[in-house]
Structure 1
């Protein structure tokens, strides 16, 4: 889906209201990641009953947001395997407390965040990944679903939309993960059950720019965005909040349509 250059110009008029500056400014290199993938992938692939559909929808380069549903601790690994490229996740600082786990988290490019510092710090860390032209893994639900019956999918939080809006040329790819809870159920299975099937369905990607100008998306034009830029700050914030919510709800609808349970 292509975007209009006029819509792009209109959106940039509002930059002070949606900009998220990256911090830290760059993503740390992950030389150990390639080594781990080189040796572990050939060993694990014959043992796993994993299927990836729509892998061609995942860009191999450039700023990308991989948005998936979340049912198990294995979900980030499933997304990374489906992406076939280094994918960075935000992880709470508790995961970095043990030396071996810290090594694995750093080796695979995961970014330590401290929850007590709030959502803005996490968004700035996520922005670092996108500003560097890399792939960011994100769970729009904001947490792992603890529902015991379907539908497991929770309402999405608008952080994913704020990041897409702040890096409007980044591709947002919906990824429906199925079978991960049976593969490794939190608080029940200490080890993954490798014989259990798991699938990842990747949908068609969309950028904020293309969504913003589409009739079924943001439905904005250069004229409407210019008019919006001339309003009071609180009116601009209200419209941006509406757009973030609509984008997020449509993304969650895409996850459901792709088979997210």
Structure 2
């Protein structure tokens, strides 16, 4: 089942998503002693990190990673991680898993991180959850993380993108299989340019966009503005 929450502006949207994320993370900590969170870049993705920061979450009990990363040097301003740390600097002092940076071919970097995640979580084909919450934005073309329409990838934890429609061209991303191993997935989307793709993904039927191929094992929830919710 897909839930849809609509808001009049982006500030309300991310604030509510942050509150709901806090509940999921604290419940995971209460049940299992820790929580695993996958964060995202983009305007709404970075804004929700600022909102989460204000909530005073117990970061020592939360393992965090970005869902995808631009394949550039570690200190490059284009990295999602770089922007995330600007919004929530304290993440650098806790359990932040980093994607590899340049210095080797992007395929080799993807393989190395896939092996790292497989050693921790087992084979990608397992139906068991490994994340508690995945936060995702969505592009006007329906892409999520760095998984773009009409692109296929090998079955692995992490995949390489060689020709992103938006620069930088090389990227690393959690795969569909990895993103679908989360108990909950929150999508954050706003703006008329994303309406068609979002409505397609929410309906799911006959929709082959990347956003339609990801969902939580227990909960899939969209946080959208009135531009997107109109006509749902």
Q: TM-score, normalised on structure 2?
A: 0.35
Q: TM-score, normalised on structure 1?
A: 0.33
* Higher relative helix content: 1
Higher relative contact order (CA 8 A, sep 6+): 1
Larger radius of gyration: 1
